[in-house]
Chains A and B, each alone.
Chain A
Amino acid sequence: MLVSNWSQQNKLLKKSTRQGFGDALLALAKNNKNIVVVSADLAESTRVQKFGQKYPERFVEVGVAEQNAMGIAAGLALSGKIPFVASFGVFSPGRNWDQLRVSVCYSKANVKIVSTHTGLAVGEDGASHQALEDIALTRVLPNLTVIAPADYNETVAVTKAIAKHPGPVYLRLARQNSPVFTKINSIFKIGRAEILLRGNDITLIACGPVIYEALLAAHELAKKKIRVEIINCPTIKPLDKKTILRSVKKTKKLITLEDHQKAGGLGSALAEMLSQNYPVKSIIMGVNDTFGESGKPDQLWDKYGLSKKHIVDNIKKLLKK
Chain B
Amino acid sequence: MKTKNVQKLKQIANQIRQDIIEMLYRAGSGHPAGALGMADIFAVLYFSVLSHTPERPDNPNRDRVVLSNGHICPVLYATLARAGYFPLVKLKTLRKINSDLQGHPHNLDLPGVETSSGPLGQGISQAVGMALAGKMDKAWHHIYCLTSDGEHNEGQLWEAVMTANKYKLNNLTVIVDYNRIQIDGFTKDIMPLASLRNKYLAFGWEVKEVGGNNIRELLRVLPLRKNKPLVIIAHTTPGQGVSFMEDKWQWHGQAPDKDQTAEALAELKTKI
Contacts and interface: CB of A to CB of B under 8 A. Distances in A.
Interface of A: 36, 57-58, 60, 62-63, 65, 67-68, 70-81, 83, 98-99, 101-103, 106-108
Contacts, number: 105
A42 to B, nearest CB: 15
Q: Is the interface of A mostly helix, strand, loop or mixed?
A: helix
Q: Is the interface of B mostly helix, strand, loop or mixed?
A: helix
B122 A102 contact: yes
Interface of B: 60, 66, 106-108, 114-119, 121-134, 136-137, 155-156, 159-160, 162-163, 167
10 contacts: A65-B156, A68-B159, A71-B125, A71-B126, A72-B126, A75-B132, A78-B107, A80-B60, A102-B119, A102-B122
B162 A78 contact: no
A72 B106 contact: no
A107 B116 contact: yes
Contacts of A65: 156, 159, 162-163
Nearest to B118: A102
A107 B115 contact: yes
Contact of B136 (A36, A72, A102): A36
B136 A57 contact: yes
Contacts of A101: 119
Most buried by B among A67, A68, A75, A107: A75
Nearest to B160: A68
A63 B162 contact: yes
Contacts of B114: 78
Contacts of A70: 125
B111 to A, nearest CB: 14
Given A62-B159, A103-B122, A79 B129 contact: yes
Given A57-B136, A58-B136, A106 B160 contact: no
A81 B135 CA distance: 12
Most buried by B among A57, A58, A106: A106
A264 to B, nearest CB: 22
